[in-house]
Amino acid sequence: MSGRRESGLFIGCVLPLMAGLILQWLHHSEPARILWFATTAIGLALSGVSTWRAIAAQRPTVDVIAFLALVGALLVDEPFAGAVIAVMLTTGALLESRAAARASRELGLLVARSPQSARRFAGTNLEVVPVAEVVPGDRILVGTGEVVPVDARLLTAATFDESALTGEPAPVDRPAGDEVRSGVVNAAGPVEMLVTTTWAESTYSGVLRLVEQAKASSAPFVRMADRIALAFVPFTLLLAGGAWLLTGDPVRAVAVLVVATPCPLLLAAPIAIMSGLSRAARIGVIIKGGGALERLAAGRVLLFDKTGTLTMGHPVLSQVVTDGTSGDELLALAASLDQVSPHVLATAIVTGARQRGLELVLPEAVVEHHGYGLVGQVQGREVRLGKAEWLVEGALPAWAHRAKRRAGLDGSLTVFAAVDGALAGVIILEDPIRPDAPRMLRALKAAGITRTVLVTGDRAEAAESVGRVVGVDAVQADRDPAEKVAVVESESSNGPTIMVGDGINDAPALAVAGVGVALAARGATAASETADVVLTVERIGVLADAIRLAQRAKRIALESAVIGMGLCLIAMVLAAFGALTPAEGAVLQEVIDVVAILVALRAVLPGEKPARALGPVDATVARSIRAEHVAVRYLTDEVRSVADSLEDSNLDLNALRRMLELLESKTLPHERDEDARLFPLLAARVGGIESVLLLRRSHAEIEHKVARLRSLLADQDGPALEPSDLAEVRGLLYGLQAVMVLHNAQEEEFAFGQLI
Residues 6+ apart with CB under 8 A from 490: none
User: Taking the CA of residue 664 as centre, how many other CA atoms within 13 Å lie in the half-sphere pointing to its CB?
Assistant: 13
Q: Measured between alpha carbons, how far is 79 from 65 in angstroms, rounded to an integer? A: 17
CA torsion through residues 646, 651, 654, 660, sign: positive
CB 544 within 8 A of CB 447: yes
**Residue among 607, 602, 600 nearest 565 (CA):** 600
Between β-strands 373-378 and 117-122, what pairing exists: parallel, antiparallel or unpaired? unpaired
Cα angle 689, 695, 700 (rounded to 5 degrees) comes to 110
Specify the DSSP class assigned to residue 157: -
3-state DSSP percent of the chain in helix, strand and coil, to 5 = 60, 15, 25
Q: Measure CA 364 to chain center.
A: 40
- CA-wise closest residue to 141 among 161, 160, 163, 156: 156
Alpha-carbon gap, residue 35 to 635, rounded angstroms = 83
CB 305 within 8 A of CB 456: yes
Q: For 396-439, give the secondary structure using H, E and C.
A: CCHHHHHHHHHHHHHCCEEEEEEECCEEEEEEEEECCECCCHHH
Distance CA 516, CA 679 (A): 38
- Give the active site residue among 138, 305, 458, 502: 305
Q: What 3-state class would DSSP assign to 320?
A: strand
The answer to whether residues 567 and 590 touch, using CB atoms and an 8 Å cutoff, is: no
* H or E stretch at 304: strand 301-304
Find residue 455's DSSP bridge partners. 476
Edge-to-edge order in the sheet of strand 172-174: 172-174, 158-161, 185-186
Query: Is 478 labeled as catalytic in the residue annotation?
Result: no
What is the tally of helices (H) and strands (E) in the chain?
30, 22
| Three-state secondary structure readout of 84-116 | HHHHHHHHHHHHHHHHHHHHHHHHHHHHHCCCC
693-714 and 654-662 helices cross at what angle (nearest 10)?
Answer: 150
What DSSP designation does 324 have? S
Distance CA 84, CA 590 (A): 8
Q: Could you give phi then psi for residue 356, rounded to 5 degrees?
A: -85, 0
- Coil, helix or strand at residue 255: helix
Cβ burial of 712 (10 Å; 0-12, 13-18, 19+) is: middle
Residue type, 111: V
Query: Do residues 540 and 218 make contact, with C-beta atoms less than 8 angstroms apart?
Result: no
* Cβ atoms within 10 Å of 167's Cβ, excluding its own: 17
**Residues with active-site annotation:** 305
